[in-house]
Amino acid sequence: MTPAGIVAFRKSAALVHAVAGLRLRITHDGRPLAEIGHDVVVRTEGLPMRLTPCQFRVALLRVLDGTTRARPISAFGLPPGIDPAIHLGVCHERPMAVHGFGLVAWSEGDMKGCSFAAALPREAAETVLTQMPGHADVVARVRSDQQLGTSVIDLASSMVTVDALVELARDAMVRCTVEELTMPPAAAVW
């Protein structure tokens, strides 16, 4: 896998682990390699593998544990340097919509929200959010996964429309991506 592919896997693992109702499909050249979701029937032999979000997260952590950037990493039997495609979707009836770049809009009763993952530690993600123009009716929450080096950012409100939350979340996601790209190498996690 490439460094960008590893970051995408880390973010995807964090998001599917933190947000109930999501499913990941991992493919290469249209061939299914794995399905990850809370509702899958686990199958660790053959393809496509079927894993729970926890199993996927643990497997990814095992691969990354003790590795260096110089060591080639392969996934699902693909040659090193080849990134599989990650498809994010919804696995059950929870009202959700998947937007581009891993942004998920959801609702629970009167509460509406958006979630996305960033390859940032909690402090950096919180700093990005505090520098954004505020909206008094939106609550921001950062859920950090120190082992993956990611944070899942949730923006929620019962007073703001889903469209307004999506725009606010897109702005936050862009700002987090800029922070990821400008973070000093010593501060970056894997």
- pLDDT tens for 87-123 read 999 977 678 999 999 999 998 889 999 999 999 999 9
**Pair 88, 99: CB distance under 8 Å:** no
Query: CB-based contacts of 84: which residues, under 8 Å, 6+ apart?
Result: 5, 26, 27, 28, 33, 75, 76, 78
- CB atoms < 10 A from the CB of 117, how many? 30
Between β-strands 111-118 and 139-145, what pairing exists: parallel, antiparallel or unpaired?
A: unpaired
Which amino acid is it at 109?
Answer: G
Write the pLDDT tens digit of every residue in 9-49. Answer: 999 999 999 998 899 999 999 999 999 998 888 888 888 99
Q: Is the pLDDT of residue 186 over 90?
A: no
Q: Lowest mean pLDDT: which of 37-46, 59-68, 177-186?
A: 59-68
Q: What is the DSSP pairing of strand 49-51 with strand 31-37?
A: parallel
pLDDT (tens digit, 9 = 90+) per residue, 123-160? 999 999 998 887 778 999 999 999 999 999 999 999 98
pLDDT digits (tens, 9 = 90+) for 71-82: 778 888 899 889
- Could you tell me the pTM of the whole model? 0.90
pLDDT computed for residue 187 by the predictor:
53
Q: Is the pLDDT of residue 67 over 80?
A: no
pLDDT score for 189: 54
Question: In the chain, what are the domains?
Answer: 3-90 (no CATH), 96-182 (3.30.70)
